[in-house]
Structure 1
Amino acid sequence: MADWFIATEGVKVVKDSASLWPQIITAVSSAGAALIGVWYGQWLITKREEDAAASKLSSERLFIATELIFALELYAEGCAQVAGDKGQMVSEPNKQPERAPCAGYPALPDFEKVSGDWRSLPAGLIYRIREMPVRRNEAMRAIEDAWANSWPPDHDEFFSARQYEFARMGLKAIHLAKLLRKLSELPRSRLNESSWSAQPLMLEVLHRERKLRVRQEIESSL
């Protein structure tokens, strides 16, 4: 009799357990759906925040890039005038005529006054832009040294140095402006549209002066 009762109760427990499975499955499914809903809601919030941050970064980058591009390209055009300057003979009373420059040195952009968030630009690009004043100081020292070692009336060494150094400075400025244009998805520069534009003019000067320097090194080593 006891065995029959135990067996009967066992069958009843099994039947009761079986009847609970749909409730358990429903509860687990509901909990899973709730968790997924919470995760998806958080993902949407994060995605919106990331999109807003990316949009702000793009806007800040476009703003400062535009300011820097025009400043750099304007400077490059000034450098091209120096690079292409062959000078002219100037006469003074009671003095031998000497060759003098026609183009003055362009002022480097004041990067401290450029408005916008510099942090929106890559660190490497910021460094190369900020390095421009150092490069200009080096260029001016080379030109001053050439002047000290040049001979009147033509001052060939002086003119060679100023053309070479400012061709390098101008091409550096154009390269940085190109990087900024690419970064901000802006149109291409117009400084290389024709053979008399700033970029091809300075490239011609750079190639000519480099050949001259190689030849001078070879001659001095003989």
Structure 2
Amino acid sequence: MDSANINAIISAISGLAGVGVGALLTHLRELRVEKTRDKRDTSYLAILVVTHLDRFANGCMSVAYDDGTSEGRPASEDGISHQTTVRPPEFAPLDIKVEWRVLPRSLMYDILEIPAKQEHLENQLSGVREFDDPPDYAEFFMRRQRDYADLGLKVSGVAKRLREFAQMSIEEGTLDDWNRDVALQEIIDKLDAARAAYEKRQAESWAKIKAPPVPLAPT
């Protein structure tokens, strides 16, 4: 092979190498730009969505405190029946204009599923209210308070996961600071204790009921 052909081959290889290196550099530059854009999208999403999640969890807590009374009396206009005084919170994640694709699949699903969970909760409560006993509707309000306290805790947990994913600072309060999650858990514990006490009283009442003696057969 003469020197002219060798030079031609070397030139061709150099050209191809140059094209390859250029393409690689372009690809790396695009990846860096995309990574920077995703980081900005994640930060924007986290700040915006966490605000909505916290607002929703606060709304759940307000419902969890609603026992159907106002100033210690039944909340209906006639002062006889218990009536809801707090409207359920609303959360419409698909109306929030953010890049949802930057989130891990499980976290995205748990956020977008919140409205469905609330809808299921409300459907169950409607059935309980329909068959509950007026004027206090005790079962309905106990279920409503507990279910919304539980939903608020779940949403608060999702908000915490989103903060951790976006590396947002999480301020830790002192023991003397009010804590929403602690307050929600206290509501759940209080309602669970009340239900357990009620069921115990019911069981004891049934146990005291004795069946009438069976008459002896004539001899």
**Both structures adopt the same fold (TM-score exceeding 0.5):** yes
Q: Which residue of 2 aligns with 1:163?
A: 145
Native 8 Å contact 2:45 2:99 kept in 1: yes
Pairing 1:175-194 to 2, within 5 Å after superposition: 175-188=157-170
Q: Which residue of 1 aligns with 2:34?
A: 53
In the alignment, structure 2 segments of 5+ residues that lack a partner are: 1-9, 205-219
Matched, 1:120 2:110: no
1:117 CA drift (Å): 1.3
Moved more, 106-115 or 53-62: 106-115
Deviations 1:113-139, CA, capped at 9 Å, x for gaps: 201211122222222112111111111
Q: Which residue of 2 aligns with 1:21?
A: none
In 1: Cα distance, 2:20 partner to 2:76 partner: 88
The higher radius of gyration belongs to: 1
Q: Which one of the candidate residues 186, 190, 200 is aligned to 1:204?
A: 186
Native 8 Å contact 1:84 1:163 kept in 2: yes
Native 8 Å contact 1:67 1:115 kept in 2: no
Q: Which residue of 1 aligns with 2:46?
A: 65
Q: Which residue of 1 aligns with 2:80?
A: 97
Q: Report which of the two has the higher share of helix.
A: 1
Moved more, 135-144 or 181-190: 181-190
Give the alignment's Cα RMSD to 1 decimal. 4.0
Deviations 1:28-74, CA, capped at 9 Å, x for gaps: x9999988776655544332222111111111111122211101100
Q: Which one of the candidate residues 62, 68, 78 is aligned to 1:81?
A: 62
In 1: Cα distance, 2:77 partner to 2:27 partner: 80
Moved more, 210-219 or 78-87: 210-219
In 1: Cα distance, 2:177 partner to 2:34 partner: 43
In 1: Cα distance, 2:76 partner to 2:165 partner: 55
Native 8 Å contact 1:85 1:163 kept in 2: yes
Identity score, percent: 25
In the alignment, structure 1 segments of 5+ residues that lack a partner are: 1-28
Native 8 Å contact 1:147 1:158 kept in 2: yes
Pairing 1:25-40 to 2, within 5 Å after superposition: none
TM-score, length basis structure 1: 0.70
Q: Which residue of 2 aligns with 1:110?
A: 92
TM-score, length basis structure 2: 0.70
Moved more, 50-59 or 88-97: 88-97
Q: Which one of the candidate residues 144, 154, 161 is aligned to 1:172?
A: 154
Native 8 Å contact 1:76 1:170 kept in 2: yes
Native 8 Å contact 2:46 2:163 kept in 1: yes
In 2: Cα distance, 1:53 partner to 1:127 partner: 23
- Please give the secondary structure, in 1, of the residue aligned with 2:82: strand
Quick one: structure 1 residues 93 and 220, their matched pair in 2 at CA, closer, same or farther if it must change by over 3 Å? closer
Q: Which one of the candidate residues 107, 130, 141 is aligned to 2:112?
A: 130
Quick one: structure 1 residues 198 and 94, their matched pair in 2 at CA, closer, same or farther if it must change by over 3 Å? closer
- Please give the secondary structure, in 2, of the residue aligned with 1:99: coil
Counting matched residue pairs gives: 202
Partner letter of residue 48 of structure 2?
E
In 1: Cα distance, 2:48 partner to 2:75 partner: 43
Native 8 Å contact 2:60 2:89 kept in 1: no
- Please give the secondary structure, in 1, of the residue aligned with 2:66: coil
